[in-house]
Amino acid sequence: MEERLTEPNKSMTCLRAALLVATLVVADGVVAKEPSLVLEPAFVLDPTEYPAGVRPHRLAADTQMLGWQLSDAVYFGRRHGQIDDFGFVVKRGDDQFSFTQKGIGWHRNLSFGR
């Protein structure tokens, strides 16, 4: 359904646009005179973060968790790596203990130094 602008609608649209531009110009002048009126953002967006605080966490060289870090060692979300599953992971040193819909698991990273 196509809506055509009639002459009264065109004039109202132009009036609204003019009022918007005038408001922006006045507000810009007020802020330029008094910079303390500018509000600081409540939080800063992290470009590596997904909505709701979901972010990737590297658990080991071959394992990554996409979710939330609940404490220094506890994560919740989807684990990607040799074992893909969804749930809680507790990381202690080279050990990872997972509590997921598949059950309880244990994963240990082995590294051979030179």
* Angle in degrees, CA 81, 59, 53, rounded to 5: 100
Most confident range (mean pLDDT) of 43-52, 88-97, 101-110 is: 88-97
Looking at residue 76, what is its pLDDT? 92
Q: Is there a domain that residue 16 lies in?
A: yes
114 HSE (CA, 13 A, CB side): 0
Please say if the pLDDT value at position 68 is more than 80: yes
Show Cβ contacts of residue 100 under 8 Å, excluding neighbours closer than 6 positions: 79, 85, 86, 87, 88
Q: Is there a domain that residue 45 lies in?
A: no
Q: Is there a domain that residue 113 lies in?
A: no
Supply the DSSP symbol for 7: H
* Angle in degrees, CA 73, 75, 79, rounded to 5: 125
pTM: 0.53
Q: Is there a domain that residue 1 lies in?
A: no
Question: 31 and 64: one domain?
Answer: no
Please say if the pLDDT value at position 55 is more than 80: yes
Domain count, the chain: 2
Range of the domain at 59: 51-108
**Quick one: three-class SS letters along 9-74?**
HHHHHHHHHHHHHHHHHHHHHHHHHCHHHCCCCCCCCCCCCCHHHCEEEEEECCEEEEEEECCCCE
pLDDT tens, 70-86? Answer: 988 999 999 887 778 88
Question: 101 and 57: one domain?
Answer: yes
High-pLDDT (> 90) share of the chain, %: 5
Question: 28 and 69: one domain?
Answer: no
